[in-house]
Every structure is written in structure tokens, then in C-alpha cells.
Amino acid sequence: MNLFGGVIQITGITFLLVCVFIIMALGYMLGRIKIKGVDLGTAGVFIVALIFGCLFYKPLDAEMTAIGDVTKDMLRVIENIGLVLFVTSVGFIAGPNFFSNLKKNFKSYVAIGAVIIASGTAAAILCILIGRGLGEPDSKRLTAMVAGLFSGALTSTPAFSAAKSAVDPVYEDIVSVGYGIAYIFGVIGVVLFVQLIPKIRHADMKEELKKITEVDAGSKKKRIPDEQLLHMDPFGCMPFALAIVIGIFVGMIRIPLSSKGLSGTCFSLTTTGGCLIAALVLGHFGRIGRVSMMPYYSSLKVFREFGLAMFLIGAGVAGGASFVANFQIIYFVYGVIITCVSMFIGYLFATKVLKLSLLNALSSITGGMTSTPALGTLISVAGSEDVASAYAATYPVALICVVLATQFMIILF
């Protein structure tokens, strides 16, 4: 691309970088717009990325062809780097209080994660039955579509991967279409939910924060002051990078789920789950001997926000590119049903049955819905990273359940 008569030449990866940061800038501007006290926040980046993908993906792809057809791969790299930065930051932030919180509420978090996924699975199965009742001629295609919608409605990349590996290869693209259609509301719906519920309940955030920051004195660990520990760099980048490396290897561990062993369907935590767990453990202990394993809080806030924005750009541009070509209103409705059923039943179960405080309930729902953007929004709403603990505790349970539920649905239907 030549600008101003060739004075400025933008080609290849440079062109992609310009697009990425234009999307980020416009997205944050959109996210600042408030309507009756509700804004999109960082999810504004996702909206702009979707629009960009719908309108400009083909020109972007044509420009990138000069260095090979790598647009999708580059977007996937951007998305994964962003996700790793975000979840690792969340793990370190939640780590110091995570295990004491988990010890007190372990059964609740397991139950919430299971209930959210079970209710979403039931809604997805209902959509399959409705589709058959409406005369869908190819039942396997319908199941593949709904499996994609299910993974998108719960914004779960591992479930998406499990669905693609479980369906007949002919229907892999159908899974991708369903994921892209449902993912949009899967992100925006939960982001709006965690903002609207506190307003509807007229919640006092200071009082709600007190409820989640109360930790028994006996469960608090005495930590050696920072000034007495050896720091490898001024920002804590070394332990942050170490957590990512450990997490990647943990996420690569595969557990067979069928008689075919490792050659068949396998479960893994993926890079996302591995990095989250590695950061939780390092954040909990805080040090190895006299060497600090805890990044500075200011660094974690930057990594968390920047990572979330990059994740939304990578996912949004790619999703927007296929959205218009494959969109059907009935499939979008199915996705909305799955997201809403999972979200509302999870909320009612957390607040009415388990009697959890508002922020603990909402944070658990973001974990149960595996919704990274919604956690970012909830942190802004609450004004505290303490809400990340419940997300981190519920997320692994939901991750395991959603992968198993996806495969269960495809096998049976």
C-alpha cells in the first residue's frame, strides 16, 4: 500500500500492525461511550475488530499475500499471545489469595462450573431437537453447527477444538461457522450482564468488596518483604515469562478420552489453562528461596489490559471475516439461547442456592462461561482485582466440563 504518492510504503506485517493498533485505539474510544451508566469497556475493541473483519479482511489478506497467505495465522498468533498475557496476569493477581479462597468455597466453585455447563448443554440439545423439528435434512450437519454454537456461546476455544476433532471431517468448517456466529453474543452478552446486574440490584461496591476480601487471619501467609528478595529485573518480567513457559508445557499434556489412546480424542488444559495454573502456583508461593517469583502489580495491570485487547482483536477480525458470509438468524438465536440459559441459571444457582455474595457469584459466572473479556469488565466494575480469585477457581472446572460436554453431545446426536 502506497500513501502520499509513494512517500510512505506500508506492506506485509507492517500493514497488519497498523491495522491492529488502529482497531485498538478506536475500540477504546467506543468502549468509553456510556449509555445509562453502561459501557462496553475493553469489549469495544472486539466490536471494532468485528466490523473491521467484515469490511476490510479481504484487502488485508490481499496485502499480506505479498509475504504469503499468512493473515489467519498472524491473527491467531495475536489472539494467543493476548490470551496468554491476560490469563497469566490473572493467575498472578489471584495467586496470593487463591488457595485460601478455594479452600473455603471449593464445592461452590465446582458446583457452579458444572451447573453452567450442564444448563448450556441442555440448551444446545434443545436447539438440536428444535432444528430437527423444523425439518433440518442433515442431522449430522445440524449437530456440528450446534456444537460450534455451543463452544462459541461459552467462548471456549478448547471446546471448539474438541468439536472439530470429534465431528466427521466433512463438517469441520460447519463447526467453525457456528463458533463464529455465537461467539459475538457470547462475549458481549456476558460483558453487559456483569455490568447490568449490580445496577439492577443497586449494589454498594464497597460493601460487596468487603465480602470477598474478608480472609481469615489464620489463612494469611506471612511474606518476606520485597526489598529482602532478589529481583531478576525491575518489572518482574522474568517470573512472568517463566510462568508462561511452564504453563505452555503443562497445557500440552494430553489425557486420552477414548480407547484409541493418544491417537484418538484427548483432553488437555491447553496453553490458556496451563498458564493460568502455573501463574496461580507461582503467585501463591511468591518466591523460590530468596528469588522473587512475583511480578510487580503495576506490570500485571499493563499485561492484563494489553493482553485482553490483543486477544479481542485477533478473535474479532477473524470472526468478522466469516460472520457475514455464513450468518443465519436462526443460528444466532440458538447461540443467544445457549449463552443466556447458561448465564442466568448459573447466576440464580450461585445467589439463591449457594448464597454467594454478588461479586463472588459474578466472578464465578465469568469463569464458568470461560469469558475472558467479562472478567476484565468485572474488574473495572468492582474496582479491584480481588474478583479474579473466583474466576480462576471456577475456570478449570468449566474447562473440563465443556470439553467433555461437547464430545458427549456429538457422540449422542
Polymer length in residues for the chain: 413
Higher pLDDT pick, 64 / 269: 269
CA triple 411-274-261, angle to 5 deg: 40
Structure confidence by residue, pLDDT tens digits, 202-260:
888 888 888 776 643 344 455 666 767 888 888 889 999 999 999 999 888 888 766 67
Per-residue pLDDT, averaged over 298-303, amounts to 89
User: What confidence score (pLDDT) does residue 10 get?
Assistant: 63
Examine the pLDDT at 295 and tell me if it is beyond 50.
Answer: yes
Structure confidence at residue 177 (pLDDT): 76
| Residue 142 backbone phi and psi in degrees, to 5 | -60, -45
Average pLDDT rounded to a whole number, residues 108-131: 91
Neighbour-count burial of 235, counting CB atoms closer than 10 A to its CB (0-12 exposed, 13-18 middle, 19+ buried): middle
Over the stretch 174-195, which tens digit does the pLDDT of each residue have?
Answer: 777 787 788 878 888 888 898 8
Q: What is the pLDDT of residue 176?
A: 72
Mean pLDDT computed over every residue of the chain: 81
- pLDDT in the model for residue 120: 93
Q: What is the pLDDT of residue 219?
A: 45
H or E segment and range at residue 267: strand 266-267
Q: pTM of this prediction?
A: 0.71
**All residues at 6 or more sequence positions from 311 whose CB lies less than 8 Å from its CB, including other chains:** 79, 82, 83, 86, 372, 373
130 and 377 Cβ atoms separated by less than 8 Å: no
Planar angle of CA 372, 374, 375, nearest 5 degrees: 70
- Transcribe 184-234 into DSSP letters: HHHHHHHHHHHHHHHHHTT--HHHHHHHHH---GGGPPP---GGGSB-SSS
Question: Which pLDDT belongs to residue 6?
Answer: 57
CB 182 within 8 A of CB 334: yes
For the chain, the domains span: 2-214+227-412
For residue 331, give the H/E element and its range.
helix 329-348
68 backbone dihedrals φ, ψ, rounded to 5°: 105, 155
